[in-house]
């Protein structure tokens, strides 16, 4: 590739003008750079093949990149990446979950309009966060279910990374099959509503039947209450009694 070489000035007056800075200086003449007034940019050797940050004027980064705001924005603290929000169905349970996790509940504003419509607003940023929404669909099932759907939609529109719907009591779970003709399988309908609203995962507790997990097109974590452990203890005691 041909190199760019500028011709030398023909007269001493032109050289003096160039030396005084009356005209814009080229970046290099005959391969020599003017380093007196140019910005120094030194690139250190890469470590393990990874690029390094250039050093500008004996500084690691410009001042506008060293602001505290940017430092907080790129903070990789795991606690800041997890957000737990509570609906109005069971706020006491949400408080206990957050206390067990060592986190604070996220700030959220939920209200009802005069005609019964539900309004949800997140009062803190969830961009790029793993959000957990604790909202059982216990009675009144329709109100709590709709509130959960609106909460999921609010998190999705706020650019949350992952949205997990924590549903300790899953309403409509008993309508998981057809026992008579012309019946609705409401469990599948509710699963579709939760999926389409934007949830990435569902955590349910003591579903009516295991087949309800197959109604979701997203991963489902099915956990059991402590009652199952009590049943196991009773079985062990019965076995011991039978052996004796």
Q: What is the DSSP letter of 197?
A: H
The yes-or-no verdict on residue 93 having pLDDT over 70 is: yes
**CA-based nearest residue to 135, from 214, 80, 194:** 194
The yes-or-no verdict on residue 62 having pLDDT over 60 is: no
pLDDT band at 101 (very low <50, low <70, confident <90, very high): confident
Task: Give me the pLDDT at residue 39, please.
Answer: 47
The mean-pLDDT minimum among 78-87, 93-102, 125-134 falls in 78-87
CB-based contact 163:171 (threshold 8 Å): no
Task: Give me the pLDDT at residue 118, please.
Answer: 97
CATH of domain 77-233: 3.40.50.2020
Domain ranges of the chain: 34-75, 77-233
The mean pLDDT value for 113-125 works out to 95
Following CA atoms 209, 212, 213, 216 in sequence, which dihedral angle do they give, to the nearest 10 degrees? -170
162: which residues sit within 8 A by CB, 6+ positions away? 130, 131, 200, 201
Task: Give me the pLDDT at residue 211, please.
Answer: 78
Task: Give me the pLDDT at residue 185, please.
Answer: 92
The yes-or-no verdict on residue 23 having pLDDT over 50 is: no
pLDDT band at 14 (very low <50, low <70, confident <90, very high): very low
Report pLDDT digits (tens) over 203-232: 998 888 777 887 899 999 988 876 555 555
The mean-pLDDT minimum among 77-81, 128-132, 161-165 falls in 77-81
Q: What are the residues facing 82 on neighbouring strands?
A: 130
Task: Give me the pLDDT at residue 68, please.
Answer: 47
The two beta strands, 108-112 and 118-122, are antiparallel
The mean pLDDT value for 126-134 works out to 95
The yes-or-no verdict on residue 19 having pLDDT over 60 is: no
Highest mean pLDDT among 71-75, 94-98, 175-179: 94-98
Highest mean pLDDT among 20-29, 32-41, 111-120: 111-120
């Amino acid at each position: 590739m041909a190199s760019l070489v500028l011709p030398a000035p023909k007269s001493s007056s032109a050289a003096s003008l160039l030396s005084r800075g009356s005209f814009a200086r080229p970046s290099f003449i005959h391969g020599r750079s003017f380093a007196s007034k140019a910005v120094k940019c030194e690139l250190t050797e890469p470590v393990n093949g990874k690029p390094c940050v250039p050093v500008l004027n004996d500084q690691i980064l410009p001042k506008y990149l060293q602001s505290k705001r940017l430092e907080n924005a790129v903070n990789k603290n795991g606690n800041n990446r997890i957000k737990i929000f509570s609906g109005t169905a069971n706020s006491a349970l949400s408080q206990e979950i957050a206390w067990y996790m060592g986190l604070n509940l996220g700030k959220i504003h939920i209200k009802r309009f005069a005609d019964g419509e539900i309004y949800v607003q997140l009062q803190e940023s969830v961009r790029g966060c793993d959000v957990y929404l604790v909202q059982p669909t216990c009675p009144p099932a329709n109100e709590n279910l709709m509130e959960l759907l609106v909460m999921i939609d609010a998190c999705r529109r706020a650019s949350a990374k992952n949205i997990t719907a924590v549903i300790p009591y899953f309403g409509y779970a008993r309508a998981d099959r057809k026992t008579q003709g012309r019946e609705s399988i409401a469990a599948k309908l509710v699963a579709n509503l939760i999926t389409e609203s934007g949830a990435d995962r569902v955590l349910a507790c003591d579903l009516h039947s295991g087949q309800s997990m197959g109604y979701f097109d997203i991963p489902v974590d099915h956990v059991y209450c402590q009652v199952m452990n009590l049943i196991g203890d009773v079985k062990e005691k019965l076995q011991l009694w039978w052996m004796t």
